[in-house]
Amino acid sequence: MRLGKRSFEFENSINILSGYSIVGPKEAEGNFGKEFDIALTDDLWEEKSYEKCECKMHREAIKGAIKKAGIETENVDLILAGDLLNEISASNFAAREFNCSFLGLYNACSTFGEAMIIASIFLNSGNFETISCSTSSHFSSAERQYRFPLELGNQRTPTAQWTVTGAGCAVLSRKSRETVKSNVLAVKTEKVDAINSFEVRVTSATIGRVIDMGIEDESNMGAAMAPAAADTLITHFKETGRAPSYYDAILTGDLGLYGKELLAFILKDEGVTLPDYYEDCGAVYFKEEQKCVQGGSGAGCSSTAFCSHFLNKLMRGELKKVLLVPTGALLNKDTPLQKETIPSIAHAVAFESFEIK
Amino acid sequence: MRLGKRSFEFENSINILSGYSIVGPKEAEGNFGKEFDIALTDDLWEEKSYEKCECKMHREAIKGAIKKAGIETENVDLILAGDLLNEISASNFAAREFNCSFLGLYNACSTFGEAMIIASIFLNSGNFETISCSTSSHFSSAERQYRFPLELGNQRTPTAQWTVTGAGCAVLSRKSRETVKSNVLAVKTEKVDAINSFEVRVTSATIGRVIDMGIEDESNMGAAMAPAAADTLITHFKETGRAPSYYDAILTGDLGLYGKELLAFILKDEGVTLPDYYEDCGAVYFKEEQKCVQGGSGAGCSSTAFCSHFLNKLMRGELKKVLLVPTGALLNKDTPLQKETIPSIAHAVAFESFEIK
């Protein structure tokens, strides 16, 4: 059901069957370290290039999420995926391995939000049963594609962020985890992992619009993205009629420490005060001693953080209502060179945890 | 309504309010030359770079389609867009100019099909009223991004295609053209263009999957894409229960002359014979004397061909049932250098023309 120009409430149950995350070694030493499904010990994963590693992570995250959901690939109706490589090639090459419909998405680091929203509207329409949503990024492939060859050893600016090496995938379905569990157990004896006592559902969402406040510095993406996050949050609260306190967790994607501060500042100016527990996946991803300056970023930042730590908390009922707002800076390597400013976008997706009776 | 694993029939009317196309000078001299809305006299359009020109074409195509539909920007619920620039930057920068929700898409040259399918499922769900679908490409920006600087003057290979300089946009709506016409005429005296005596609707669609038959030559994208087109066509005919003869036009996206031949060959092997009137937008886009080798390609190829010549024919009732199958090669500049083959995809969208009583 449409709540406003950009917000929706889903009257049917859009259940999250599983979340799966694969990250690099640095990420595994960060704050969510223990909760990722796979932590690589090197950032090539036996591949010959960072790009091929990103593709492998992406593919294995989809496979892992499908397996963890207790379903088979043929039960997946559609793969929605995106990443930061040019022409989303990690997603394309990952999708090649699955005999499923595929729609490639690109909204930079907010793509995970974009995928979840399209999946939810598709599932809510009754025409799909199960859809996988995945995004990835890789520090080393992003550095050489967007910035400089790593070999140059460039110094990082004070507002720089660290692209997360990781792939996250969530499987969304009209079926509940309880139903899938019973079905699977009826035909198999294999243990189905992660069936807890709460169903997690996507209950509402707000689609972002492109906002450009004239930030020119591509090393300060938090500043470019904060106004887009503010716009989407304000729209979400207004159109759903909810106050920030409706949620027990509000998470932006990858604004970083400075962007997070800027968001609170912009929102305050608009009369919206974020609760103390508001957090940014990027800002909280790494530990201070890991020297990631402003924090994590990348299309794999919010997807791996959500598909591990936060989804686990929802599935255990420790969080009841979570608003995830992945943020994306819509530049490419050439646009700043052609004197363009940085347009940004943010999508909001609301999750709720329901106790299984 | 879902017809099969990948095909859908839309029980609600998904009307095409308008199609708008802007092309470069070479395209204007091609076979559809007289039917484009704007034909540029140079391929920079007063911009300082080909990329900026592509962005301007994309933005103006969306604006043009909205105006031609007889609606205002605030009536557009969502912009679905994609292009061939890295990180779909033509679409991102175009979307910046509209105060609308935005979802960025990438399925290479099949993105126009992807956009129409997402739009149709969204509109059919009842949660959206009007959505714009647009794609673009630019010969000169594509050459330097995917191949070589134009200044090198490289010779073209015998299987090369010519990236179309163009942007096409279609506005899809739950409202009919007749309703919009009456609404507009009630409040305005301004003449609303292109209201003819037929409504054109998206009636069914088949989502593609990624197919990779091991083609390594990035100058032979027709060969890489033909198997994906065959897979989608076979699936479409099977799942909808329709024979090729159900349609009075079947159009693939940009297989080119050789890819078109290859498609017919593959399909024949699978027991499907395409009718004589089967055509490929790329193969038919340019005239032989224009020396475009295999024909046109690019995300703007099928969108500008459809939003001009073919949509006009549907709107005049000269074509009744059209199946458009945009095709895309999912490589980037680096994947062939890293010894990857070329995965491809194709989406099928069926249009029907209904006489307004």
Domain ranges within chain B, ordered by starting residue: 7-187, 202-355
How close A292 gets to chain B, by Cα (Å)? 24
Shortest distance, CA A89 to any CA of chain B (angstroms): 7
Tens of pLDDT, residues B43-56: 999 999 999 999 99
**pLDDT value of position B180:** 87
Of the candidates A1, A85, A334, the beta carbon closest to that of B51 is on: A334
CB burial string B242-264: b at 16+ within 10 A, e below: bebeebebbbbbbbbbbbbebbb
Using one digit for the tens of pLDDT, what is the confidence trace for A76-112? 999 999 999 999 999 999 999 999 999 999 999 999 9
Instruction: Establish if A346 touches chain B: CB-CB under 8 angstroms.
Output: no
To the nearest whole Å, the CA of A138 is away from the closest chain B CA by: 15
Distance CA B259, CA B275 (A): 16
- Under the banding of pLDDT at 50, 70 and 90, the label for residue B197 is confident
How large is the average pLDDT for residues B232-243? 98
In this prediction, residue B168 has a pLDDT band, given cuts at 50, 70 and 90, of very high
Which residue in the block uniquely carries the two structure tokens 């090459």? Answer: A93
How many of the other CB atoms lie within 10 Å of CB of A270? 11
Nearest residue in A to B93, CA atom: A343
Inform me whether the pLDDT recorded for B181 exceeds 80. no
Averaged confidence pLDDT in chain B = 95
Query: Confidence class of residue A69 from pLDDT cuts 50, 70 and 90?
Result: very high
Q: Is the pLDDT of residue B191 over 90?
A: no
Asked whether the beta carbons of B4 and B15 are under 8 A apart, the reply is: no
Judged by CB atoms within 8 Å, which residues 233-292 of A form the interface with B?
A: none
CA angle in degrees (0–180, nearest 5) for B125-B133-A224: 100
Nearest chain B Cα to A208, which residue?
B101
Tokens of residue B114, six digits: 């992807």
Q: Identify the pLDDT of residue A197.
A: 82
Convert the pLDDT of each residue in A197-218 to its tens digit: 899 999 999 999 999 999 999 9
The CB-side HSE value for A16 (13 A sphere, CA atoms) comes to: 32
Top residue of B12, B106, B111, B125 to mutate, by most chain A CBs within 10 Å, is B106
pLDDT above 90 (res B356) = no
Write out chain B in H/E/C secondary structure: CECCCCEEEEEEEEEEEEEEEEECHHHHCCCCHHHCCEECCCCCCCCCCHHHHHHHHHHHHHHHHHHHHCCCHHHCCEEEEEECCHHHHHHHHHHCCCCCEEEEECECECHHHHHHHHHHHHHHCCCCCEEEEEEEECHHHHHHHHCCCHHHCCCCCCCCCEECCEEEEEEEECCCHHHHHHHHHHHCCCCCCCCCCEEEEEEEEECCECECCCCCCCCCHHHHHHHHHHHHHHHHHHHHCCCHHHCCEEEECCCHHHHHHHHHHHHHHCCCCCCCCCEEHHHHHCCHHHCCCCCEECHHHHHHHHHHHHHHHHHCCCCCEEEEECEEECCCCHHHHCCCCCCEEECEEEEEEEECC
To the nearest 10 degrees (0 to 180), the angle between helices A139-146 and A50-69 is 140
Q: Which string of DSSP letters, residue by residue, matches A255-285? A: -HHHHHHHHHHHHHHTT----TT-EEHHHHH
Full-model pTM: 0.97
- State the fold for domain B202-355: Peroxisomal Thiolase; Chain A, domain 1 (3.40.47)
**pLDDT band of A196, cuts 50, 70, 90:** low
Do residues B217 and B223 make contact, with C-beta atoms less than 8 angstroms apart? Answer: yes
Within an 8 Å CB–CB cutoff, is residue B299 touching chain A? no
pLDDT surpasses 70 at A273 = yes
Domains A14-187 and A202-355 agree in fold: yes
Question: Is the Cβ–Cβ distance between A136 and A301 less than 8 Å?
Answer: no
* Residues in B touching A1 (Cβ below 8 Å): 127
Are A16 and A200 spatial neighbours (Cβ–Cβ below 8 Å)? yes
The pLDDT of A235-253, averaged and rounded, is 98
Contact B172, B123 (CB under 8 A): yes
Match domain B7-187 to its CATH number in 3.40.50.920, 1.10.10.10, 3.40.47.40, 3.40.50.720. 3.40.47.40
Give chain B's largest Cα–Cα span: 61
Q: What percent of chain B is predicted at pLDDT more than 70?
A: 96
A111, A297 Cβ separation under 8 angstroms: no
The gap from C-alpha A326 to its chain's centroid, in whole angstroms, comes to 6
Closest partner CB to A93 (pick from B121, B125, B340): B340
**pLDDT beyond 70 at A183:** no
Reported confidence tier of residue B193, pLDDT bands at 50, 70, 90? very low
Position B188 scores a pLDDT of 41
How many alpha carbons fall within 13 Å on the CB side of residue A116?
38
C-beta atoms of A212 and B118 within 8 A: no
Q: Cβ distance A198 to A302 under 8 Å?
A: no
- The owner of tokens 């709107």 is B315
The predicted-structure confidence for A102-161, as pLDDT tens digits, reads as follows 999 999 999 999 999 999 999 999 999 999 999 999 999 999 999 999 999 999 999 999
* Best CA proximity match to B259, nearest among B294, B235, B292: B294
For residue A184, name the pLDDT band (cuts at 50, 70, 90).
Answer: low
Question: Which residues of B are less than 8 Å from A338 in CB distance?
Answer: 48-49, 51-52
Quote the pLDDT of residue A25: 98
- Model pLDDT, residue A191: 42
Q: Which CATH architecture has domain A14-187?
A: 3-Layer(aba) Sandwich (3.40)
Tell me the two tokens of residue B243. Answer: 């024979």
